[in-house]
Amino acid sequence: MEVDGDCSFFSKDGGFGGAGTAQPNACLVRARPSGAGAFHRGTFAAYAMKLFRTMFSLPYSLIACPIFSLQPLDADVRTCLLRQIRNRADPMGNDMRRTMPLAFVALTLPGIALAANCPKPDPAAVVKTMTDMYAAATVDDGAKLAAIFTPDAVEFDGGKRFTGSALWDLIKTVHAKGIRLVWTVQDIDVHFACNTAWIDYTNRGSVSDGKTTTPVTWLESAVLVHGQTGWQIRFFHSTQVPAAQPAK
């Protein structure tokens, strides 16, 4: 003999609880025979209600969990979803084997649907975005740079924080003084997370005033997002490597 306990669905008389009949502080224990084919009506009703509650709790669970972008669900989001579904489908923790299949569907189908919206990982496209940035900066093409960066982009360079066109306006001022800057993208490493890409690389270039040319190396990285126009830079960081000191 097995028992089926459920505190939230049944009243004292065995029906669905109504006003004055529910037992919020006690579980109604129903006996049901063991063995194949044995399925008590109370067990079936409880399972049907759990299925109903789980289906209608999914929209709330998706909103309650921290999903801010269209990308495959990570471990924290899966944990949150599972907790939301468990609390609503079976608040008393009765026989989680009944709700686990529903939770599995809820956790896997959204991830599959979101993954279908992710662009194909293309490191060459990300690298091209960076080289296009340097090409535009070399000729002070502000319109091209505006298209390469997102409107809310932030740049860290030379120990300062830049937004908008401030960094490129500064480079334009440097060019006006007759200083020529050369940049190259080398030692590249690119990573993807759906519509977000992160790249780090070594920028080996030079600074020339028309008389002397000084080799310069920068360690740089950027975060890019994929939109309707392709990859755009949302964050850019550059740190100049100190010049080697002559041996004493």
Q: For residue range 167-212, what is the model confidence (pLDDT) as tens digits? A: 999 999 999 999 999 999 999 999 999 999 999 999 999 999 989 9
Q: Binning pLDDT at 50, 70 and 90, where does residue 64 land?
A: very low
Span of 55-59, 66-70, 115-119, 155-159 with lowest mean pLDDT = 66-70
Cα–Cα distance, 131 to 150 (Å, whole number): 16
CA distance 237 to 200: 9
Instruction: Reduce the secondary structure of 3-63 to three states and give it as a string.
Output: EEEECCCEECCCCECCCCCECCCCCEEEEECCCCCCCCHHHHHHHHHHHHHHHHHHHHHHH
What is d(CA 136, CA 225) in angstroms, rounded to the nearest whole number? 19
Give the tens place of pLDDT for each residue, 125-159. 999 999 999 999 999 999 999 999 999 999 999 99
| DSSP, res 82 | H
Whether the predicted pLDDT of 32 surpasses 50: no
pLDDT (mean) for 34-41: 49
Distance of CA 208 to the CA centre of its chain: 42
Dist. CA 149–CA 11, nearest whole Å: 62
> Whose CA is closest to 231, among 67, 118, 113?
118
166-178-214 Cα angle (round to 5)? 95
Long-range pairs for 45-50: beta carbons < 8 A, 24 or more residues apart: 45/9, 45/10, 45/16, 46/4, 46/6, 46/9, 46/10, 47/98, 49/9, 50/89, 50/90, 50/98, 50/99, 50/102
Average pLDDT score over residue span 214-236 = 97
Taking the whole predicted model, whether its pTM rises above 0.75 is answered as: no
Take residue 53 and report the two structure tokens written for it: 């509650």
Q: Which band of pLDDT confidence, cut at 50, 70 and 90, is reported for residue 243?
A: confident
Above pLDDT 70, what percent of the chain?
52
Q: How far apart are the first and last CA of the chain?
A: 89
User: All domains of the chain, ordered by start, with CATH?
Assistant: 2-116 (no CATH), 123-240 (3.10.450.50)
Residue 168 sits at the vertex; the CA angle it makes with 167 and 169, to the nearest 5 degrees, is 90
Helix then strand then coil, in percent of the chain rounded to 5, is 35, 30, 35
Give residues with Cβ within 8 angstroms of 74, minimum separation 6. none
Task: Look at residues 23, 5, 31 and name the one whose alpha carbon lies nearest to residue 90.
Answer: 5
241: DSSP letter = P
